[in-house]
Amino acid sequence: MKVVLLILFIFFIVIVLVNQREWVIHFKEGDWDTLRQMMGNEWGSILMVTMGFMLLQNVISLIPFLLLTMFNIWFFGFIYGYMWSLAGNFLGSMLVFYMARYGFHNWAQKYNHLTFKQKIENNGFMTVLLCRLFPFMPASVVNIVGGLSNIKARDYLSATLIGNTIFVFILSLFSIGVISLEHQYVIYLVLTTLIIGVVALCMKKRFVTKESH
């Protein structure tokens, strides 16, 4: 029942995007000024379409998330654009994760030999966190494999939230030109190192506490 509801929700998003196909065309062509004039004050449709793009991006990566973030920052401003991009990315990740978990988890158990699936299960939190911070693998793949694996939902969601918070923030800064292309990687690396360091210390502390008991 749960997976049916999730599929129906995605189907609803697709219908909204199809009904606003003119908006979609102008968005993909980069004609954002015309798109903004067409949107006017239809905030319900605007939020639905932009959220639909972000949700579908987590199912199948058709549009670079950088482009979606740049549009949100351009349209909503930095603060609201960042928050909306973060919310859409996180909700999309969660949606696809639970679709895979409730719909295909049992079927996937016969593929326990897959390397990436084993890594997520053996060190789930850190593996997902690194995939979010360094997106060398499409988000859709991470979402689906995470749902098919035996990783705890809490570890997956917390790692996704932490990683996306940093990653989307860097994309947002880049979108408004606060940091140049050559400098963004330095700042990104410093922030990532700090976060990983804090997470490692917390995990070590928890491990020591368990051993003492």
- Over the stretch 54-106, which tens digit does the pLDDT of each residue have? 887 887 776 777 788 888 888 888 889 999 999 999 998 998 898 888 877 66
Q: How far is Cα 169 from Cα 8, in angstroms, rounded to an integer?
A: 31
Q: Please report, as a single letter, which amino acid is at residue 121.
A: E
The 10 Å Cβ neighbour count of residue 56 is 19
Residue 179: per-residue pLDDT = 44
What pTM was estimated for this model as a whole?
0.73
What is the number of structural domains in the chain? 1
Structure tokens of 73? 């920052």
30: left (phi over 0), alpha (psi -120 to 50) or beta: left
Question: Which strand (E) or helix (H) includes residue 137?
Answer: none
Structural domain span for residue 204: 2-212
Least confident of 13-22, 136-145, 170-179: 13-22
Question: Which strand (E) or helix (H) includes residue 111?
Answer: none
Q: Please provide the distance, in angstroms rounded to a whole number, between the alpha carbons at the two ends of the chain.
A: 41
DSSP 113: T
Residue 70: per-residue pLDDT = 84
Tabulate helix, strand, coil % of the chain (nearest 5): 85, 0, 15
Q: How far is Cα 100 from Cα 202, in angstroms, rounded to an integer?
A: 29
Phi, psi of 87 (to 5 degrees): -65, -45
As a residue count, the chain comes to 213
